[in-house]
Structure 1
Amino acid sequence: MRSRPAPLHARLLNTAEIEVWPSGLLRARSNADARALSRAGAVLRRKRDGRYLAAVLQEGVLPLVPRLAREPGIDAALDLLDAGATRGPALAPRPLALHGLHERLGMLGIDGRYAQRTGLELVAEPDWLLLAGFDRYRRPLWLVPGAARAWQAMRRAAASDGVVLEAVSGYRSHDYQLGIFERKLARGQGLAQILEVNAAPGYSEHHAGDALDIGAPGEPPAEESFEATAAFAWLARHAARHGFSMSYPRGNRHGIVYEPWHWRWRG
């Protein structure tokens, strides 16, 4: 069950541990969730596992977990609400601190040699993002404002030429990327094997909210076969005028596999 739809100018407010979502973009997982979401303007969501922590109602904050006051990061998230930030920040997004990331990378066995070997830099998350539409799986697509507007304009331009561009994914948090690694390690994959296809947590361009993976209808996501599509041919000719460039061409200096689907807005 879903609550009322959110407008395309909706914003995701971001802290190190907690996100503040427009309630209309979240799916209820229980009857209690459904009742809360139907009345809420926003929902506090734990980044690590997606758990709904509290619903923001007209009459105040409704806890959805026991001992909400002990939740890590809850004060920072509530400060956003106290400042009226759910009405939409007026300033450009600012980078969040790299909260505990080095310790968590160390637990995975990733140290500074990874950055030296790949030439990749740590990427901070923005403190808010704009809803740029939805991806092919009908998930909200979050991007920083400039990238969101450029993506929508580029999609319209492609459509006017008879080409459909699909977003496969946009912003990903450090926690999301860590989850990818944890799940693959639990399935028995080795760290070196995972790093061949996934940037280490904290080093993915997706964290900045200005990169997205692009696909075409009927094509599998994130496959090299994308380069044979009309969508890729259109991007190769026209993406630059919209501020997008392909980050990982063949033989790129980072040693990352060829990714014709991954494009970053550089303004």
Structure 2
Amino acid sequence: MRRTPALLINTADIELWPGGLLRARSNADARALTRARWVLRRKRDGRYLAVATAHGVLPLVPRLMREDGIEAALDALDQQALAPVADSTLLPLSGLQQRLAQLDINADGYEAATGLALEAEPAQLHLAGFDRYRRPLWLRRSAARGWQRLQLAAAAEGVALDAISGYRSHAYQLGIFERKRARGLAVADILQVNAAPGYSEHHSGFALDIGTPGEPPADESFEHTAAFAWLQGNAGRFGFQLSYPRDNPHGIVYEPWHWCWRDGSPVG
């Protein structure tokens, strides 16, 4: 059986997912996905655009070549076949100003007020396992290895850790804001909980939200669990740090669940 590549190939508008990880949404999708080596998925809304098979690219939408970013995605697919990109390669911050303008966020003012830095998206991410909801968990290679070691070490001491989410694209972060605004929340209120698109550590592929079975996801109650106590005492050994403690200088609410890999040399 062909081994599924454990990489997500990332471009500005389109993600290339390895075959076998995405669920079919229709009978046509099901037939195409069974043959897919790679699935081209639009980042803005998750729409499946095409599959790359052993015999070429099979479109799943009309006028595939008119899709924004399709040429860059196909170039990335060709590059992956020839020589994978370096793990440190980052995508340009294209389109970010437009996303912020849609939310009436002034980038200079936001950076000055929060101290948050722009986070470019990596050009490739590694499969770090699956999250609580059985979705693929994508992280940068160093963070993926750190998380796997951290989770195993906790399990060896009787502490169960699960991932809630890992990498998120700029487009996904914008969607969070759009959905919350549609529910009537003001941008200023959303910014107390979510970083502006382009400024979330999740964009970097180094951050993930951690939980423990039986506890609600991304809830302050996580602070009172044995899992959080274990992380406080041990996460640093594996390169992870708590990003948003109480009264943090960024103005982000306390997030005991949000941890970011920062150490260049995690334990072996």
Place the TM-score, normalised by the shorter chain, in its bin: over 0.9
CA deviation after TM superposition for structure 1 residue 93, in Å: 3.1
Tell me what 1:107 maps to.
102
- Report the Cα distance in structure 2 between the residues aligned to 1:114 and 1:129, rounded to whole angstroms: 28
Give 1:69's match in structure 2, choosing from 65, 72, 83. 65
- C-alpha deviation, 1:82, in angstroms: 1.8
2:90–2:120 contact (8 Å) kept in structure 1: yes
Q: Which residue of 2 aligns with 1:36?
A: 32
Two-structure CA RMSD over aligned residues (Å)? 1.5
> Matched residues in 1 for 2:126 and 2:78: separation?
20
- Aligned with 1:163 (options 148, 159, 175): 159
Task: Note the alpha carbon deviations across 1:162-185, whole angstroms, 9 max, x for none.
Answer: 000110000000000000001111
- Cα distance, 1:6 vs structure 2: 6.9
Aligned length: 262
Q: Is the 8 A contact 1:42 1:55 kept in 2?
A: yes
Q: Is the 8 A contact 2:87 2:123 kept in 1?
A: no
Give the whole-Å Cα distance in 1 for the aligned partners of 2:48 and 2:85.
Answer: 26
2:137 maps to amino acid: L
Shift of 1:37: 0.3
Partner of 1:128: 124
Is this contact kept in 1: 2:11–2:76, CA < 8 A? no
Structure 2 match to 1:237: 233
1:12 aligns with 2:8: yes
* Cα deviation 1:160-211 (Å, max 9, x = unaligned): 0000011000000000000000111111111111111111111000000000
Correspondence 1:117 to 2:113:
yes
Mean Cα displacement is larger for which, 104-113 or 47-56?
104-113
Report the TM-score, using the length of structure 1 for normalisation. Answer: 0.95
Distance 1:29 1:220 in 2: 28
Contact 1:248–1:257, Cα closer than 8 Å, also in 2: yes
Q: Deviations over 1:61-111 (max 9, x none)?
A: 00111111111101111011222x058726223111011111220121000
For the residue of structure 2 that corresponds to 1:39, the secondary structure is: coil
**1-structure distance, mates of 2:202, 2:222:** 19
Which whole-Å CA distance do the structure 2 matches of 1:122 and 1:94 have between them? 16
Report if the CA contact (8 A) 2:165-2:209 is conserved: yes
Question: Structure 1: which 4+ aligned runs deviate by more than 6 Å?
Answer: none
Change (3 A) 1:90 1:70: closer
Say yes or no: does 1:246 pair with 2:230. Answer: no
Question: What are the residue-to-residue correspondences of 1:185-196 with 2, within 5 Å?
Answer: 185-196=181-192
Q: For the residues of structure 1 that align with 2:85 and 2:183, how far apart are their CA atoms?
A: 44
Q: How far apart, CA to CA, are the structure 1 residues paired with 2:182 and 2:59?
A: 32
1:200 maps to: 196
- In structure 2, stretches of 5+ residues that fail to align are 264-268
Contact 2:244 2:252 in 1 (8 A): yes
Match of 1:145 among 122, 138, 141: 141
Whether the aligned pair in 2 keeps the contact of 1:5 and 1:25 (CA below 8 Å) is no
Counterpart contact for 1:6–1:24, Cα < 8 Å: no
Report the 3-state secondary structure (helix = DSSP H, G, I; strand = E; otherwise coil) of the residue aligned with 1:24. coil
Equivalent position amino acid for 2:131 in 1 = D
> Structure 1 residues 245 and 179, CA, compared in 2 at 3 Å: closer, same or farther?
same
| Mean CA deviation greater in 74-83 or 15-24 | 74-83
Amino acid aligned to 1:89: P
What amino acid is aligned across from residue 115 of structure 2 in structure 1?
G
Provide the C-alpha distance between the structure 2 equivalents of 1:227 and 1:69, rounded to a whole number of angstroms: 49
Aligned match of 2:266: none
Residues 165 and 231, structure 1, Cα contact 8 Å, conserved in 2:
yes
Aligned residues: percent identity? 67
Q: Could you tell me the TM-score, scaled by structure 2's length?
A: 0.95
